[in-house]
Chain A
Amino acid sequence: MYILGINAYHGDASAAIVHDGQLVAAAEEERFNRKKHCAGFPTLAIRYCLEAAGITAAELDHVGISRDPSAHLHKKILFSITRLSGLSGLIAARLANAAKVRNLREELARSLDVPADSCRAQFHNVEHHKAHMASCFLVSGFDKAAILSIDGFGDFISTMWGQGEGNRIEVLGEIEYPHSVGIVYTATSQYLGFLKYGDEGKVMGLAPYGTPRFLEQFRDIVQSERDGRFKLNLDYFLHHSEGVEMSWEDGSPTIGRIFSDKYVETFGPARHQGEPLTSHYEDIAASLQARLEEVGFHILQHLHQKTGSKRLALAGGVAFNSVMNGKILLHTPFEEVYVQPAAGDAGTALGVCYWIENVMLERPRRFIMGHAYTGPEYKNGQIERVVGSSGLKHRLLDDAELTRAAAQAIADGKIVGWFQGRMEFGPRALGNRSIVVDPRRPEMKDILNARIKKREPFRPFAPSILEERISEYFEQTHPAPTMLMVYQIKPEKRAAIPAVTHVDGSGRLQTVSRATNPLYHGLISEFERITGVPVVLNTSFNEDEPIVCTPDQAMDCFQRTRMDVLFLGNYMVER
């Protein structure tokens, strides 16, 4: 049985395909069409999934999308009519003019260039947060766990929590529009001059530079309530009253201003893009982050009380807040946390597949997502054409030679492009589409930024560490294979890896196991053999663009930037 899951008309459009309970492929559309956070219909990702499964659309049994427009419909109607401009014909006219409505079956047929009636599959709408919950719990390997899905909004809900057991998911609570901690983070990011979709991570990186002296103000903005609930002080926002213009049409999503003038009254003038990041703005970022953590732990304490579980499955855009994630084990009773690598909206395509497979069809769970390597891969034969036509010096190595040569180049202070195996699903490069450098050299951060990444100087770079060596370098030892946890680096080790030690002594680590990525594990092991340090700096293989997907894109990025060496499959390419 083949099930295709789709996230469309939402940020990070994506597709995933499952065959008889096993995940065959999953990928974001942006990797193929090269539009960051692409929010249209994932035509190319679907084509890739079908190709990876070796089938045509006619052979699909089920197709699902992680949106259910009918979900909570009465609440949408109530909200619109009782709170937005008194309605009458006004909103109706606005809707008629502005809304562009798409039909899933027709869109799928159009995108695959087949007649709509050629697809015999059953079509399903899966509510957004239920898809999130499925995307983490059903592939976590936990028999029973508490589940939290937390993001901006989806199907009128911003936060949903519940309990999973076997192939059942029970919703225990939810927070409705217009209340959302995700929207607070987005609004504050906008206020701080970070306007692009997905810029919230930059604010998280800025927070450790400040002190949370505006925490009380943020406690007024997001107010805790009983039973794990919270509400927003809506005076600070526009999305619930005047509305905010947005577009999820093809290309990167855009959202208009969300914060109201009350932000300016409270915190002073908003920072414009490119203006200096003063300590005032750093303190605002620190206060936001502190409040997010308080609210997150407030929900999780309640969730633990309700479920009694020590295991937590976490998803939603806010689950990309790796600083909060890293503190969950310190501030709540949970002892194990599973964060699926594509925890944001892209991962809902995966969730749709397993919601259909396990919950709707009641088929037993038989898949654990132990890694993120679900995208396209290219054999050396395919790569040979790319390196051959590049005109660059290259040679073919076996795996042992490859890891040795790459480790030596890193130890020598070179910037290494590392393109291997299947592309990662989710926003993090986890050793298959990575740029790897020496973390011992404090200057590497500036060199990387000057030569390739062009990132804001306050943003940290991340360490990949051998899983078995984590206790030597980090204060916490819970595995973090998807780079979605920030832990404190042991004080005595910070000087050893300065390029990946953030200003507050933390690091957003990736633990690398031999079982899930033997080649990358081999590379870090070789680096340790040469240097005595089982850690490398790992950043995504891209230059202000989506992470590279194909060998051609990797070669193009290599030639466009000032990377020193490229390991493309088993080929070592030098300038």
Chain B
Amino acid sequence: MAAGVQATQAAAELVRAVAKPYAALFLPAVLEGVPEKQELFLPLTLAYLLSAHIAFQFPLRENALPLVERVFDDILHGLPKESKGICYQSVDGLECASVLVPHSSLLLTDDRGLEELAGGDGLSAAVLSKSEGNTNLLRLRNLEKIDDLGLRGKLAGCAQLINVQSGGFITQGHFSLSW
């Protein structure tokens, strides 16, 4: 059997096996190799926070798993484990992982290409990106399609926090949010 056909079958199997509804955490960095630890903190933090409302499917290459585990250990240290779960899916690469995206109720990613795709398909998506000056941004697409108001509110809150916190300098207001 050709490698391409094998991959397609594996991907179809993956989609069948996954319980719905789910959110997909799609990070090209863990599908293409082993990323820098710093790159993972923000997306994995968001996944943890949102997983209180919806289970996540997280495709990644096997060799990225130890680093991902270490980052989650750092993030979760001392926190209540309020989560419906983040399920690792060991995959061979981007193509196999991407089959999880169209069937997801929410896509969390830092892949700008997927953002356009999600927009076109009417998929709910939260997209992390960097703007000039290396500041983080979180853009939300089709938020209104999410029925769970708790999840919707948390997504909006996270976006507001990230976009305000990293986009510049807070000069007045709430001490706890200015640090």
Which residue on B lies nearest to A10, using beta carbons? B169
Q: Could you tell me if A70 and B166 are in contact, using CB atoms closer than 8 angstroms?
A: yes
A: which residues have CB within 8 A of B?
Answer: 8-9, 39-40, 65, 67, 69-70, 73-74, 76-78, 80-82, 84, 87-92, 94-105, 123, 125, 153-156, 177-178, 239-240, 243-249, 255-256
Q: Which of B46, B170, B171 contacts A40 (CB 8 A)?
A: B171
A13 → chain B closest CB, angstroms: 11
Please give, as numbers and ranges, the residues of chain A lying within 8 Å of B169 by CB-CB distance. 8-9, 65, 67, 69, 101-102, 104
Total inter-chain residue pairs, C-beta < 8 Å? 157
B: which residues have CB within 8 A of A?
Answer: 41-42, 44-46, 48-49, 75, 79-80, 133-136, 150, 153-154, 156-162, 164-179
Please give, as numbers and ranges, the residues of chain B lying within 8 Å of A243 by CB-CB distance. 174-177
22 pairs, A vs B, C-beta closer than 8 Å:
A65-B169, A69-B169, A70-B134, A77-B49, A77-B162, A78-B48, A78-B75, A80-B176, A81-B154, A88-B157, A89-B153, A89-B157, A91-B161, A101-B164, A102-B169, A102-B171, A103-B167, A125-B134, A240-B176, A243-B174, A243-B175, A255-B175
Q: Could you tell me if A92 and B160 are in contact, using CB atoms closer than 8 angstroms?
A: yes
Please give, as numbers and ranges, the residues of chain B lying within 8 Å of A239 by CB-CB distance. 175-176
Please give, as numbers and ranges, the residues of chain A lying within 8 Å of B174 by CB-CB distance. 94-95, 98-99, 243-246
Please give, as numbers and ranges, the residues of chain B lying within 8 Å of A247 by CB-CB distance. 171-173
Q: Could you tell me if B175 and A101 are in contact, using CB atoms closer than 8 angstroms?
A: no
CA of A104 to CA of B134, assembled, Å: 13
CA of A100 to CA of B44, assembled, Å: 28
Q: Which of B49, B165, B178 contacts A81 (CB 8 A)?
A: B49
CA of A255 to CA of B173, assembled, Å: 10
Q: Could you tell me if B179 and A76 are in contact, using CB atoms closer than 8 angstroms?
A: yes
Known: A99-B172, A243-B177, A245-B174. A76 touches B165 (CB 8 A): yes
Known: A104-B169, A240-B176. A82 touches B80 (CB 8 A): yes
Q: Could you tell me if A155 and B179 are in contact, using CB atoms closer than 8 angstroms?
A: yes
A9, A69, A88 — which one has the most chain B CB atoms within 10 A of its CB?
A69
A180 → chain B closest CB, angstroms: 10
Please give, as numbers and ranges, the residues of chain B lying within 8 Å of A103 by CB-CB distance. 167-168
Please give, as numbers and ranges, the residues of chain B lying within 8 Å of A99 by CB-CB distance. 164, 170, 172-174, 177-178
B42, B49, B172 — which one has the most chain A CB atoms within 10 A of its CB?
B172
B153 → chain A closest CB, angstroms: 4
Q: Could you tell me if B171 and A100 are in contact, using CB atoms closer than 8 angstroms?
A: yes
Which residue on B lies nearest to A8, using beta carbons? B169
Please give, as numbers and ranges, the residues of chain B lying within 8 Å of A81 by CB-CB distance. 49, 154, 157-158, 161
B135 → chain A closest CB, angstroms: 6
Known: A76-B165, A92-B156, A248-B178. A69 touches B172 (CB 8 A): no
Q: Could you tell me if B175 and A74 are in contact, using CB atoms closer than 8 angstroms?
A: no
Interface of A is mostly: mixed
Q: Could you tell me if B175 and A246 are in contact, using CB atoms closer than 8 angstroms?
A: yes
Please give, as numbers and ranges, the residues of chain A lying within 8 Å of B175 by CB-CB distance. 239, 243-246, 255-256
A489 → chain B closest CB, angstroms: 40
Please give, as numbers and ranges, the residues of chain A lying within 8 Å of B177 by CB-CB distance. 76, 80, 91, 94-95, 99, 243
Which residue on A lies nearest to B178, using beta carbons? A246
Q: Could you tell me if A70 and B135 are in contact, using CB atoms closer than 8 angstroms?
A: yes
B179 → chain A closest CB, angstroms: 5
Which residue on A lies nearest to B71, using beta carbons? A74
B45 → chain A closest CB, angstroms: 4
A22 → chain B closest CB, angstroms: 28
CA of A77 to CA of B45, assembled, Å: 8
A435 → chain B closest CB, angstroms: 34
CA of A1 to CA of B119, assembled, Å: 46
CA of A479 to CA of B17, assembled, Å: 72
Known: A74-B45, A95-B160. A101 touches B179 (CB 8 A): no
A113 → chain B closest CB, angstroms: 20
CA of A509 to CA of B158, assembled, Å: 50
Please give, as numbers and ranges, the residues of chain A lying within 8 Å of B170 by CB-CB distance. 9, 99-101, 248
Q: Could you tell me if A74 and B75 are in contact, using CB atoms closer than 8 angstroms?
A: yes
Q: Could you tell me if A88 and B158 are in contact, using CB atoms closer than 8 angstroms?
A: no
A106 → chain B closest CB, angstroms: 9
Q: Which of B75, B79, B136, B150 contacts A88 (CB 8 A)?
A: B150
Q: Could you tell me if A98 and B172 are in contact, using CB atoms closer than 8 angstroms?
A: yes
B172 → chain A closest CB, angstroms: 4
Please give, as numbers and ranges, the residues of chain A lying within 8 Å of B158 by CB-CB distance. 77, 81
Q: Could you tell me if B134 and A95 are in contact, using CB atoms closer than 8 angstroms?
A: no
Q: Could you tell me if B172 and A73 are in contact, using CB atoms closer than 8 angstroms?
A: no
Known: A100-B173, A246-B174. A69 touches B45 (CB 8 A): no
B79, B164, B170, B171 — which one has the most chain A CB atoms within 10 A of its CB?
B171
CA of A177 to CA of B179, assembled, Å: 8
A174 → chain B closest CB, angstroms: 13
Please give, as numbers and ranges, the residues of chain B lying within 8 Å of A98 by CB-CB distance. 172-174
B80, B135, B175 — which one has the most chain A CB atoms within 10 A of its CB?
B175
CA of A153 to CA of B176, assembled, Å: 10
Please give, as numbers and ranges, the residues of chain A lying within 8 Å of B44 by CB-CB distance. 74
Please give, as numbers and ranges, the residues of chain B lying within 8 Å of A246 by CB-CB distance. 172-175, 178
CA of A97 to CA of B173, assembled, Å: 8
Known: A91-B177, A245-B173. A69 touches B49 (CB 8 A): no
Which residue on A lies nearest to B130, using beta carbons? A70
Given A77-B46, A125-B134, 4 extra CB contacts under 8 A: A77-B45, A80-B157, A103-B167, A125-B133
CA of A256 to CA of B173, assembled, Å: 11
Q: Could you tell me if A69 and B166 are in contact, using CB atoms closer than 8 angstroms?
A: yes
Please give, as numbers and ranges, the residues of chain B lying within 8 Å of A177 by CB-CB distance. 179
CA of A102 to CA of B16, assembled, Å: 48
Please give, as numbers and ranges, the residues of chain A lying within 8 Å of B42 by CB-CB distance. 73-74, 77
Q: Could you tell me if A154 and B165 are in contact, using CB atoms closer than 8 angstroms?
A: no
B160, B162, B169 — which one has the most chain A CB atoms within 10 A of its CB?
B169
Which residue on A lies nearest to B169, using beta carbons? A9
CA of A76 to CA of B178, assembled, Å: 9
B79 → chain A closest CB, angstroms: 6
A222 → chain B closest CB, angstroms: 18
Please give, as numbers and ranges, the residues of chain B lying within 8 Å of A244 by CB-CB distance. 174-176
Q: Which of A40, A95, A104 contacts B161 (CB 8 A)?
A: A95
Q: Could you tell me if A70 and B178 are in contact, using CB atoms closer than 8 angstroms?
A: no
A439 → chain B closest CB, angstroms: 41
CA of A239 to CA of B177, assembled, Å: 10
CA of A92 to CA of B45, assembled, Å: 17
Which residue on A lies nearest to B153, using beta carbons? A88
Please give, as numbers and ranges, the residues of chain B lying within 8 Å of A123 by CB-CB distance. 133
Q: Could you tell me if B45 and A78 are in contact, using CB atoms closer than 8 angstroms?
A: yes
B164 → chain A closest CB, angstroms: 5
CA of A98 to CA of B173, assembled, Å: 5
Please give, as numbers and ranges, the residues of chain A lying within 8 Å of B171 by CB-CB distance. 9, 39-40, 100-102, 247-249
A64 → chain B closest CB, angstroms: 12
